[in-house]
Structure 1
Amino acid sequence: MASVIRVTGAWTGLLKDWLDQQGLDAGSLRLELARRAAQDNVPVDVWRRMLAEGLALTPGRPAPELEVGACVTPSHVGVLGYLVLATDTLGEAMLAYQRYETLFYGTSLVQIEMMETEAEIRWPPSDNELGQQADGAAIAALVTFLRRQIDHPPPPSAICFLHEVEPESAGAYEAFFGCPVTWNDSHVRVRFPLRYLSLPMPRRDPTLRRLLDRQARAMLQALPQGTEADQQMQRVVLRMLSDGEPTLARAAAAMHMSPRTLQRRLAPHGLSWQQWLDRSREQLAHQYLEDESLTLADIALLLGFSEQSAFNRAYRRWTGRSPGRDRRQAVAKG
């Protein structure tokens, strides 16, 4: 497993943003970070080294890796930022992360367990593990990201790490997370009271709001002058696209109606279900191609295609052009 673990180039932007926040020059480290494009794959040992090099610039400060994690924005998590938009609750957000973690680490490590009164999201140790600094930054980013999506966010009930830190840093961890932190555990763990999973995700983060607005504009172009019921259908389709199964039967079931009723709802627009789905995908594709943090494979996933080649064929059918060509043009204009 160790050979496939990596992080994305977008994730290393956390360290760059922290260096900016602290006003640290960091010389050659900044040059190395600048060479990492968002879509690059960065081996975990390289990320671990760069993070340690950056944190060493603030000697004596307890647990600066938590400050790095607290810099997180949707741009650092790439496609997962878009997937969060499709979730309505904290529980759904956790499951979305579990489904698509492989986009982030190159493999699926996370485990989710529902206990009697708590939910636990955990990661087992591996031969080429991240190490305490990188684990600390990652869990700080996860908790910070969720805090920004929830009104009056409650703290986790417990957090566990594989390794131990100095007592001063241990105190900084407990103060940051607002809950007991356990060391030398068999897994990295984050626990929440089970009732937290139903907390709504109002998407208060400004960057996520902009992404949501872009998706809404794209869907509006697919179904102009839509009614409130049509907007409900658009939200359902966005959620199904992220699941990869945007079928008429599933959409109808999610809206508590028969497939025939859903088809009738589209009839005034002169569209069949498949025609509207294709139009929605095309408009969303144009929006996603403008985001350099998304690879073509990411975009294929967001649009509900099983593989990039299927997206490429569909895009050519819609536009007569390749998505790669339109991506280059969008980047050049930007």
Structure 2
Amino acid sequence: MENMRRRFVLNLIAYAALRDVPATQLCRLAGIDMAVLQRTEDYVVSHHQLNSLWREASALADDILFGLHFGESLQLSALGIVGEIIRTSETVGQAVEQAAALAHLLTDLLRVTVDRTPSHFIIRFLPLTERTDLFVFRQTLELFMVFVVHELDGLLLRKVKPVSVRLPYRVEQESEYTRVFRCEIEKSAEEYALVFDNHYWTEPLLSANYEIQRTLLQNVAANNSTAGDSFKEKIHQYLLTNAYLGIRSLSEIAANFNVSPRTLQRKLKEEGISYQDVADEVRKSLAIHYLEEGDYPVKTISYMLGYNELSAFTRAFKRWTGKTPVSYQKN
């Protein structure tokens, strides 16, 4: 059986590192032997260590919404065999039901149920214990709720918008929750839930995306060893690993790194580059990668890179390479 907690911890540490949190310091504060964790498949991470990891990561990143932002960056590939099972579903409904059934493999803090009405389907996140660390529970809960919303993007190759998000507590930084979830947050008396319009339920999943995403992530993993510590490189790496549904805006990236757009621009300017330059570098490398990897339609690649019109992608690609995407793919 795959060590799901170890996989989750490795992904949490990797995301924290993108946020300028020193991985060795984070592990030391959480009581985790990083070297052993990396090389030992059956390394056991205790509840106390995981709780400490959440708290220290949030503190070192200076981000009380660390779980919310981590959920934005997480992908099905990070869930190992659970992600593989979910991605073999044929429709959104099947994927949601698979995810609910497998939630116990990912966390012992909550279980997931799915209910349908004539107009909506509701994904509920039910606490399994009242004795857990409330801070850790909230971080974990928000991580999984955001992950569900944003991974549906990757399954359908477009942004999915819930009808509502229900939380039994009043949130701080409400505008950030609205940005991440793409809808208003309802103050609910008793439940943690995501509500979606029923029309999503029977939509087919676009399986071609998984092959693109898999090869992309393999390339990213191969490049991790040479990635530097500059802010530009961190942004580049983040955009690359989360680019299968377009390049995120300056304000979205700034929020994920818990800085203002102005601060992000200033940091990049100090390194002699703009955010638009970094985004274009990523688009160019992804476009070439997708065109060389297989017979993916140019229109699909254009959409995945965030271009609403094929003509705009064609102009940009010709500026980068001197060729159109179609002629480049043929050659």
Q: For the residues of structure 2 that align with 1:70 and 1:33, how far apart are their CA atoms?
A: 27
Q: For the residues of structure 2 that align with 1:71 and 1:38, how far apart are their CA atoms?
A: 24
Change (3 A) 1:68 1:183: same
Pairing 1:154-173 to 2, within 5 Å after superposition = 154-166=160-172, 168=173, 170-173=174-177
Residue 195 of structure 1 corresponds to: 199
Is structure 2 residue 20 aligned with structure 1 residue 23?
yes
Q: Number of aligned pairs?
A: 203
Deviations 1:219-260 (A, max 9, x none): xxxxxxxxxxxxxxxxxxxxxxxxxxxxxxxxxxxxxxxxxx
Q: 1:83, CA displacement in angstroms?
A: 0.3
Pairing 1:1-334 to 2, within 5 Å after superposition = 8-31=5-28, 32=32, 34=34, 35-36=36-37, 42-59=45-62, 61=63, 63-106=65-108, 109-125=111-127, 126-129=129-132, 130-166=136-172, 168=173, 170-183=174-187, 185-203=189-207, 204-205=209-210, 209=214
Q: 1:201, CA displacement in angstroms?
A: 1.3
Q: 1:123, CA displacement in angstroms?
A: 1.6
Q: 1:91, CA displacement in angstroms?
A: 0.5
For the 8 Å contact 1:7–1:47, the answer to whether it is kept is no
Q: RMSD across aligned C-alpha pairs, in angstroms? A: 2.9
Q: Secondary structure at the match of 1:191?
A: strand
Q: Secondary structure at the match of 1:56?
A: helix
Change (3 A) 1:178 1:193: same
Q: Secondary structure at the match of 1:120?
A: strand
Q: For the residues of structure 2 that align with 1:180 and 1:187, how far apart are their CA atoms?
A: 16
Q: 1:56, CA displacement in angstroms?
A: 0.9
Change (3 A) 1:111 1:209: same
Q: 1:92, CA displacement in angstroms?
A: 0.5
For the 8 Å contact 2:20–2:61, the answer to whether it is kept is no
Deviations 1:255-303 (A, max 9, x none): xxxxxxxxxxxxxxxxxxxxxxxxxxxxxxxxxxxxxxxxxxxxxxxxx
Q: Secondary structure at the match of 2:155?
A: coil
Q: 1:128, CA displacement in angstroms?
A: 3.6
For the 8 Å contact 1:159–1:181, the answer to whether it is kept is yes
Change (3 A) 1:46 1:7: farther
Greater RCO (CA < 8 Å, at least 6 residues apart):
1
Give the gaps of 5 or more residues in structure 2. Answer: 217-331
Equivalent position amino acid for 1:196 in 2: Y
For the 8 Å contact 2:110–2:126, the answer to whether it is kept is no
Change (3 A) 1:172 1:107: closer
Q: Secondary structure at the match of 1:111?
A: strand
Q: TM-score scaled to structure 1, two decimals?
A: 0.53
Q: Secondary structure at the match of 2:12?
A: helix
Q: For the residues of structure 1 that align with 2:47 and 2:11, how far apart are their CA atoms?
A: 15
Change (3 A) 1:150 1:81: same
Change (3 A) 1:151 1:49: same
For the 8 Å contact 2:162–2:182, the answer to whether it is kept is yes
Q: Secondary structure at the match of 1:200?
A: coil
Change (3 A) 1:134 1:115: same
Q: Secondary structure at the match of 1:152?
A: coil
Change (3 A) 1:106 1:132: closer
Equivalent position amino acid for 2:7 in 1: A
Overall identity of the aligned pairs, in %: 17
For the 8 Å contact 2:91–2:205, the answer to whether it is kept is yes
Give the gaps of 5 or more residues in structure 1. Answer: 1-5, 212-334
Q: For the residues of structure 2 that align with 1:181 and 1:63, how far apart are their CA atoms?
A: 15
